[in-house]
Chains A and B, each alone.
Chain A
Amino acid sequence: MGRIRVGLLGTGNIGTDLLIKIFNKSKCLEVGMFSGIDPESEGIQRARQMGIPASADGINAILADPSIKIVFDATSAKSHYVHAPLLKEAGMIAIDLTPAAIGPYVVPAVDMNKSTMGEPNINMVTCGGQATIPMVYAVSRITEVSYSETVTTIPSKSAGPGTRANIDEFTDTTAKGAKVIGGAKLSKSIIILNPAEPPILNQHTIYVVLEQEPDQRAILASIEAMVDTVRGYVPGYRLKHPPFFDGKRVTIMVEVEGAGDFLPKYAGNLDIMTSAALAAGEAIACKMLEKGVIQ
């Protein structure tokens, strides 16, 4: 079976981790071009060492190769607004790893098939969203959720310039994702950077407020099942404590230990993002191959 050629835009931490994941683990994808804007970037040098075409010519290097069918954009929200129409015109499917969110949100654990098929641009929400939305959904599929509030804490070392320039976009997109995909009527998102050494693990607290008194057993079972689903593509995802109830509010605390493919294990926030993007890209590509897309 052949593979679908993909482009990776953005040669920073997220782009490089994705490069290595696709190289090592992917069944249906192969990287046709790894491109960014910084010629000094370590990512570009690494890609070249791996024998993968790399460039500092940004999106142009990707658009120049019409055999590329899917493009992962790990640059920034601002840049993605520029890239999206260009990719659409070139007929390349865009998987957006920035908070730009031009296309629909995709959280693989929730319902990948419905939302990935046929869309020219899909958005991976945020790293916080990938970790917290499954939990909000786990509750909302059992009972109505009036409000969800998520607190995402990431180790400072794993927050690159892209994240730091996009704090507002992060909270906005994560909160929206919690409503649209997670099923909460209202939502709030908070993000905190912690510079402690040794670096803390990526952690999330999800508060979910219910319309009615909870069926605790059903909700707990749903949460456990969802944790298992996420672990299917992010093995380091786990509950820190059993979720607990306080009247109509349930508190869920998760931590995400990264796989350590490229980034250190404490960068679970980046790992969940790349793992989710890979899962989405894989699903689209495998479907394309099934249908017999010419490469």
Chain B
Amino acid sequence: MDTTLRDGSHSVRHQYSADNVAKVTSALAKARIDTIEVTHGDGLGGSSIQYGFGKLSDRELLQAAKPVIGNSKLAVLLLPGIGIKEDLEMAYREGARVARICTHVTEADISAQHMDLAKKIGMEVVGFLMLAHMVEPQKVLEQAKLMESYGADVVYVVDSAGAMVPDHVRSRVSLLVSHLKVKAGFHAHNNLGLAIGNTLAAIEEGVDVVDGSLAGMGAGAGNTPTEVLVAVLDKMGYETGVDLYAIMDAAEDVVRPLMQRPQVIDKSALSIGYAGVYSSFLLHTARAAEKYKLDPRDILIELGKRKVVGGQEDMIVDVALELTRAR
């Protein structure tokens, strides 16, 4: 599943234009990517002061993608607590057929009503257990089983902070693969430079679905670069079904020109992976660091100590204010 137009949205502060969406979607469809996710970085309803307003509404994003998506499936992301069931209904009307419902790794039960609805209206349901590095593998499995019981067709181990090393991935993915009846998935971030390696580890443990993003465009240092992953898997003898040249062109010719900043492992992104903090905090922290004249790393390390979870962007300012007071 490609998440250039969702996780990548964080990288452009949710300012994708209809033209960006159409071009990226066509390029992905042309390369025969199975599922294309298109939503605000924080999911349906994410456009807000807390996460940043989108240039386009979720409906407009979907309307830009649907006409050019060809045979690929259109997916949307939703975090209960931010997006609501009506948002899923809207997404379905606009052509989305895959609903990726995310909760923090310990809070699967808040997704029951959303998964239930998505299944009822005829969508494939993917459960996302975010910041999966924060708890033991057994706990991840326990929560994955809950999502399975709510109707999820796939349950993902999500390394939202890009904090996992391959062994962490193996221990979590293998449990899901051996104990779930439904498929298992893995979503990586590259903050420790391990996105490809972690994704390979997940595949070796039997994961069925993985995420990528063109040129790695995504939160923090970015996601697993789709085009690189395809090349690697090709070389290893896997049948990806993806057109390698077309996906390389998509990354280089369509996505790179619209990047607003390079997807690199700079000091902040590295600190995010190191501290185990949600990747989308990167740009918000940079802004707070500038405003309050702090080192972003200090803010990120403190957020990690507090075990802050995804969605808590307001805590960035809270920490910044406290650090300023302490100075």
Contacts and interface: CB of A to CB of B under 8 A. Distances in A.
Interface of A: 149, 151, 153, 156, 161, 164-165, 167-168, 171-172, 188, 190-197, 200, 203, 205, 207, 209, 240-241, 249, 251, 253
B109 interface: yes
Nearest to B46: A190
Interface in B11-47: 45
B317 interface: yes
17 contacts: A153-B314, A156-B107, A164-B110, A168-B84, A168-B85, A168-B113, A168-B114, A188-B45, A193-B104, A194-B104, A194-B309, A195-B107, A195-B309, A200-B306, A205-B50, A241-B321, A253-B318
B112 interface: yes
A196 B107 contact: no
Interface residues of B, number: 28
Given A171-B81, A171-B84, A149 B318 contact: no
A156 B309 CA distance: 11
Nearest to A206: B314
B23 to A, nearest CB: 30
Contacts of B114: 168
Nearest to B106: A195
Interface string B72-97: 00000000111011000000000000
A58 to B, nearest CB: 22
**Centre residue among A156, A172, A195 by max chain B CB count within 10 A:** A195
Interface string B39-63: 0000001001110000000000000
Interface string B94-124: 0000000000101101101110000000000
B179 interface: no
A209 B308 CA distance: 26
B197 interface: no
B50 A149 contact: yes
A240 B85 CA distance: 33
A224 B264 CA distance: 44
Contact of B109 (A164, A196, A197, A200): A164
A165 B80 CA distance: 10
Contact of B307 (A165, A191, A194): A194
A193 B49 contact: no
B6 to A, nearest CB: 18
A197 B311 CA distance: 18
B50 A190 contact: yes
B318 A240 contact: yes
Given A156-B106, A251-B317, A253-B314, A193 B81 contact: yes
B312 interface: yes
Nearest to A152: B81
Given A190-B82, A209-B49, A240-B318, 4 more contacts: A153-B312, A164-B110, A207-B49, A253-B314
Given A156-B106, A251-B317, A196 B82 contact: no
Contacts of A149: 48-50
Contacts of B113: 165, 167-168
A190 B317 contact: no
A224 B24 CA distance: 50
B160 to A, nearest CB: 14
Nearest to B314: A205
A71 B223 CA distance: 53
Given A164-B109, A165-B112, A195-B107, A190 B318 contact: no
A190 B83 CA distance: 8
**Centre residue among A161, A190, A200, A207 by max chain B CB count within 10 A:** A190
Contacts of A190: 48, 50, 81-82, 311
B321 A151 contact: no
A249 B50 CA distance: 12
Nearest to A153: B312
A153 B309 CA distance: 10
A209 B107 CA distance: 31
**Centre residue among B82, B85, B114 by max chain A CB count within 10 A:** B82
A18 to B, nearest CB: 24
A165 B114 CA distance: 10
B103 to A, nearest CB: 8
A207 B107 contact: no
A152 to B, nearest CB: 9
Nearest to A148: B49
A9 B104 CA distance: 31
A171 B311 CA distance: 15
Contacts of A192: 81, 309, 311-312
